[in-house]
Amino acid sequence: MASENIIEEKKQGQALITEQKGSNSKLLYIESFGCQMNLNDSEIVASILAEEGFNTTPHLEDADLVLVNTCSIREKAEQTIRKRLQKYNRVKRINPNMKIGVLGCMAERLKTKFLEEEKMIDLVVGPDAYRDLPNLVKEVENGKDAINVILSKEETYGDVSPVRLNSNGVSAFVSITRGCDNMCTFCVVPFTRGRERSRDPQSIIKEAQDLWDKGYKEITLLGQNVDSYLWYGGGLKKDLKNASEIAQTTAIDFANLLEMTATILPKMRIRFATSNPQDMSVDVLYSMARYDNICKYIHLPVQTGSTRMLGRMNRQHTREEYIELIDKIHEILPDCAISQDMIVGFCGETEDDHKDTLSLMEYVKYDFGFMFAYSERPGTPAAKRMEDDVPLEIKKRRLSEIINLQQKHGLYRMQKFVGKTVEILIEGNSKKSDAQWMGRNSQNAVAVFPKGNEKIGDLVMVKIEDCTSATLIGTRV
Ligand code: SAH
Ligand code: F3S
């Protein structure tokens, strides 16, 4: 059985709700699939539509407008969403006034094809076009289909204050960049989310401050590649002609942004995701070391342990450079947890390449991991130029090998906390028992412990007495 820290693709979408308001408003049912960025985007969409009088509802059957924020990262994700659309369709047959819209990456990838293929869909909106939703929804209400999938070089929704959906009131996402310029050959994201843009740091700090004022205790700064964050006044940084031009401006990079946030909100726990090995700088590691409130956890996807495959994937570093970075992290941040994303069975992957992945995992002994079998995505450089030639059976076997190894390493890392006292931010009840709290330590390990007189959002010291590969088990000290 896969441990909890291993994402499996069967994970369902999340229906997102917030507090109910007046009864004469229109009702929005919004569901989100895929990454944290999508969840945050759904919060932006809910905020934009709240201005138009939409309140969210947890009941699909009651909705005037149903929106699904979609994911294209693997074929299976798209299939799950297609099935979900069938469910909406059945409800729409009973309630023909209900309108259905698709948002996010599938909307961007399929564009008008979506309207042709799925007749129940009224609305198709790409990730950079959510500001147009009020107009598009009006068109739909007038009985027309509506679509906007224009990608932007500027849009960051910096001034939109997200409506927090399904929130535990403790942790929230704050997006700092949108899009991705990296062009990993397997990845659809650069096509569905467009060019990379950084958000104005002032608006990031304002949002973080606002969250603190509302009682939130932890934020996660989000981007496809946070280390590439660079603010010098807006637009695409790659439009600047050269590095010296950037240096002449009062640019703010990710290390600066982290320090600003950590200084202005000294009690807020700060996390970030995702780091890309090619862009992660030593400065970021030193910033993490300087501030206790920056959590000691780095999600550092590598995808494969084979330099040859890294090249085919167009990742901009070798195995050796990645190992150097891992060594630096251990040197500067000895107690830092590290996690990976891995893809098995990418085009041309041999048994030797796979062994390189296993041996890299043995070297790093990741705390957590998110592992996938390669899924060809139409339009990507790999789909155009390479053959998806590793048979499914082999992909599956390699995947289970790395999942098993990750589980062993997860347990090894968790065991290191046994006997230690760690600081836990309480997020809510434990899944298994209401008599226990669940929270996380700085390294993002989940801990459970018996309830005393603490409350959600408290930071407490917990002595760890036992663990599984996914959970620390302790008591309050
Ligand atoms: N930089 C991004 C990566 C987004 S995709 C981030 O913020 O996490 C998340 C992970 O999905 C990737 O790291 C990769 O491991 C996996 N992935 C992407 N495209 C894939 C594909 N075509 N097949 C299988 N896995 C894929
Ligand atoms: Fe995808 Fe590579 Fe960007 S995995 S999101 S193209 S860093």
Q: Give the position of tokens 């059976």.
A: 393
Burial of 206 (0-12, 13-18, 19+ CB in 10 A): middle
Best of 224, 372, 388 to mutate for ligand 1, by most ligand atoms within 8 A of CB? 372
Tell whether ligand 1 has an atom less than 6 A from the beta carbon of residue 430: no
Binned at pLDDT 50, 70 and 90, residue 233 comes out as: confident
Tell whether ligand 1 has an atom less than 6 A from the beta carbon of residue 73: yes
Nearest to 123 by CA among 106, 137, 104: 137
Kindly report the length of the chain.
477
What is the distance in A from the centroid of ligand 2 to the CA of 403? 22
Torsion sign over Cα 396, 397, 401, 407: positive
The whole-number pLDDT of residue 21 equals 45
Q: Which residues contact 362 (CB under 8 A, 6 or more apart)?
A: 405
Q: Which residues make up the CATH 3.80.30.20 domain(s) of the chain?
A: 171-391
* Structure-block tokens of residue 110: 């399929």
* Structure-block tokens of residue 354: 């796979």
Binned at pLDDT 50, 70 and 90, residue 2 comes out as: very low
* Vertex 19 angle, CA 428 and 149, to 5°: 100
Residues with CB under 6 A from ligand 2: 180, 182-184, 187, 189-190, 224-225, 276
Question: Is it the case that residue 10 has pLDDT exceeding 60?
Answer: no
Answer yes or no: are the C-beta atoms of 421 and 464 closer than 8 Å: yes
Question: Is it the case that residue 4 has pLDDT exceeding 50?
Answer: no
Over range 142-152, report the average pLDDT.
Answer: 95
Answer yes or no: are the C-beta atoms of 298 and 329 closer than 8 Å: yes
Instruction: Say how many C-beta atoms besides its own lie within 10 A of residue 281's C-beta.
Output: 15
d(CA 144, CA 337): 51
Binned at pLDDT 50, 70 and 90, residue 232 comes out as: confident
| Ligand 2 atom closest to the CA of 315, numbered from 1 | 2
Least confident of 8-22, 122-136, 189-203, 428-442: 8-22
Name the residue at shortest CA distance from atom 7 of ligand 2.
Answer: 182
What is the helix (H) or strand (E) element at residue 340, kind and residue range? strand 337-344
Answer yes or no: are the C-beta atoms of 400 and 37 closer than 8 Å: no
* Structure-block tokens of residue 326: 């891992």
The whole-number pLDDT of residue 3 equals 38
Tell whether ligand 1 has an atom less than 6 A from the beta carbon of residue 402: no
Ligand nearest to the CA of 395: 1
The one-letter code for the residue type at 275 is: S
d(CA 45, CA 268): 26
* Structure-block tokens of residue 275: 């780091």
d(CA 102, CA 124): 5
The whole-number pLDDT of residue 400 equals 98
* Structure-block tokens of residue 317: 């570093």
- % of the chain exceeding 70 in pLDDT: 92
The whole-number pLDDT of residue 19 equals 47
Instruction: Say how many C-beta atoms besides its own lie within 10 A of residue 417's C-beta.
Output: 20
What is the helix (H) or strand (E) element at residue 101, kind and residue range? strand 99-103
What is the distance in A from the centroid of ligand 2 to the CA of 183? 6
Is the backbone of residue 429 left (phi > 0), alpha (psi -120 to 50) or beta?
A: beta
**Continuous H helices in 199-306:** 201-213, 243-248, 254-264, 282-290
Instruction: Say how many C-beta atoms besides its own lie within 10 A of residue 358's C-beta.
Output: 14
Q: Which residues make up the CATH 2.40.50.140 domain(s) of the chain?
A: 421-476
* Structure-block tokens of residue 470: 């996914």
d(CA 172, CA 37): 11
Question: Is it the case that residue 218 has pLDDT exceeding 60?
Answer: yes
Find how far residue 279's CA is from the centre of its chain: 18
- Quick: pLDDT tens for 78-103: 999 999 999 999 999 999 999 999 99
Whole-number Cα distances in Å, 342 to 28, 121, 371, 462 = 36, 34, 5, 32
Q: Which residue has the higher pLDDT, 455 or 8?
A: 455
Least confident of 7-11, 20-24, 76-80, 295-299: 7-11
Torsion sign over Cα 339, 32, 128, 217: negative
- For domain 171-391, give the CATH superfamily: tm_1862 like domain (3.80.30.20)
What is the distance in A from the centroid of ligand 2 to the CA of 374? 14
Average pLDDT score, the chain: 93
Give the CA radius of gyration of the chain. 22
- Quick: pLDDT tens for 153-187: 999 999 999 999 988 999 999 999 999 999 999 99
Binned at pLDDT 50, 70 and 90, residue 192 comes out as: very high
**Continuous H helices in 51-99:** 75-94
* Structure-block tokens of residue 348: 């041309």
- Quick: pLDDT tens for 368-406: 999 999 999 999 999 999 999 999 999 999 999 999 999
Over range 336-353, report the average pLDDT.
Answer: 98
Instruction: Say how many C-beta atoms besides its own lie within 10 A of residue 112's C-beta.
Output: 11
The whole-number pLDDT of residue 166 equals 85
Is the domain covering 421-476 a CATH 2.40.50.140 domain? yes
Over range 243-249, report the average pLDDT.
Answer: 58
What is the distance in A from the centroid of ligand 1 to the CA of 187? 6
Question: Is it the case that residue 6 has pLDDT exceeding 50?
Answer: no
* Vertex 305 angle, CA 301 and 311, to 5°: 85
Question: Between β-strands 123-125 and 146-148, what pairing exists: parallel, antiparallel or unpaired?
Answer: parallel
Which fold is adopted by the domain 26-148?
Rossmann fold (3.40.50)
Answer yes or no: are the C-beta atoms of 199 and 160 closer than 8 Å: no
What is the distance in A from the centroid of ligand 1 to the CA of 9? 12
The whole-number pLDDT of residue 243 equals 56
What is the distance in A from the centroid of ligand 1 to the CA of 373? 10
- % of the chain exceeding 90 in pLDDT: 90
**3-state class (DSSP) for residue 54:** strand
Question: Is it the case that residue 237 has pLDDT exceeding 70?
Answer: no
Question: Is it the case that residue 220 has pLDDT exceeding 60?
Answer: yes
Answer yes or no: are the C-beta atoms of 426 and 170 closer than 8 Å: yes
Question: Is it the case that residue 460 has pLDDT exceeding 80?
Answer: yes
